[in-house]
């Protein structure tokens, strides 16, 4: 019971037509019609719920909220109480507050990010159907992303001033939302300050990541591909479409994932992420990275910072 998996991310975009072209032609997401207030809905071909991405027109880029799906509607009431016990005031919203969804629970985590939980969303099915399906559908565009995999959030972090919202988020997700810790990094003179936390509810290395930053934001929204050859094809698609790439194809040490980082036309960072990395389970000992090996964990091949990975986010 409780949180099952990521449900959707709502992103702010500056030019809707440019954003639509990017998410449809580069990532290969499937349009699912319009949402409220001029927004547009998208899903990956291997997803069965109505949408996993909401694009909303705005004057500034960034994330409105991220939503996770719970198993039962009654979980919303139970989690509301758990959040209250940890000092987080959550509010129940009626069906329809989120497009095509049943009741939802809205709250803000210590880092300042807005979250929703919901149990019901309109189902439209996978693009290959669920009876004698082919391994992939015809007519895919761009990278052909399977699904929204995870988000990585930038969290206020200044140990000298006693600010560590990563630690606060970690404890809230562990104790109130039932997430497990897969990987972490410690910094500081005594290597005892948690600066990175990767957490999961499914069986993949992370369903959410908390990263250090001066202010609250989103580092990236990540979309799943099958494997390394698909990552390379995605890079070709980006080059053909003159997409601004932040980090070209490489491998992570953390999660073992194969990756590209790039930007949508509004400046929101996307990732194509391939490979399941390893089997994440509740009894798995968390993997720990020390400060002197952290860049090897982020970019395994070079062990060095690349692009604007640690300095740019929305």
Give the residue numbers annotated as catalytic, written as ranges: 150, 206, 220, 252, 261, 271
Report the distance separating Cα 187 and Cα 151, nearest Å. 23
Beta strands in the chain (DSSP E): 3-13, 30-34, 40-43, 53-57, 62-70, 91-93, 104-108, 114-118, 148-158, 163-164, 180-187, 193-200, 208-213, 217-225, 245-251, 258-263, 269-274, 287-289
Closest by Cα among 186, 182, 276 to 225: 276
- Most distant CA atoms of the chain, gap in Å: 58
- CA pair distance 35, 53, nearest whole angstrom: 11
Token pair, residue 221, equals 């929204």
Q: How far apart are CA 49 and CA 258, in angstroms?
A: 26
């Amino acid at each position: 019971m409780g949180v099952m998996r990521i449900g959707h991310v709502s992103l702010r975009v500056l030019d809707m037509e440019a954003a639509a072209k990017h998410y449809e032609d580069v990532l290969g997401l499937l349009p699912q019609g319009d949402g409220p207030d001029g927004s547009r809905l998208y899903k990956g071909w291997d997803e069965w719920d109505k949408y996993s991405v909401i694009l909303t027109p705005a004057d500034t880029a960034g994330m409105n909220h991220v939503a996770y799906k719970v198993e039962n509607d009654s979980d919303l009431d139970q989690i509301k109480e758990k959040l209250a016990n940890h000092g987080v005031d959550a509010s129940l919203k009626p069906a329809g507050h989120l497009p095509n969804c049943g009741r939802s629970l809205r709250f803000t985590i210590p880092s300042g990010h807005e979250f929703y939980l919901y149990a019901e969303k309109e189902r439209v099915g996978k693009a290959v159907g669920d009876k004698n399906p082919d391994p992939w559908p015809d007519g895919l565009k761009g990278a052909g992303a399977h699904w929204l995999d995870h988000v990585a959030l930038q969290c206020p972090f200044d140990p000298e001033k006693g600010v560590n919202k990563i630690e606060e988020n970690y404890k809230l997700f562990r104790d109130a939302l039932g997430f497990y810790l897969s990987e972490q990094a410690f910094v500081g003179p005594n290597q005892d300050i948690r600066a990175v936390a990767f957490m999961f509810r499914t069986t993949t290395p992370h369903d959410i990541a908390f990263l250090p930053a001066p202010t609250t934001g989103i580092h990236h929204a990540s979309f799943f591909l099958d494997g390394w050859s698909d990552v390379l094809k995605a890079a070709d698609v980006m080059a053909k479409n003159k997409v601004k790439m932040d980090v070209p194809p490489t491998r992570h040490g953390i999660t073992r994932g194969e990756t590209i980082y790039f930007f949508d036309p509004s400046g929101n960072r996307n990732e194509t992420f391939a490979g399941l990395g390893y089997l994440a389970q509740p009894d798995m000992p968390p993997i720990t990275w020390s400060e002197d090996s952290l860049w090897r964990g982020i970019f395994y091949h070079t062990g060095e910072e690349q692009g604007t990975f640690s300095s740019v986010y929305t």
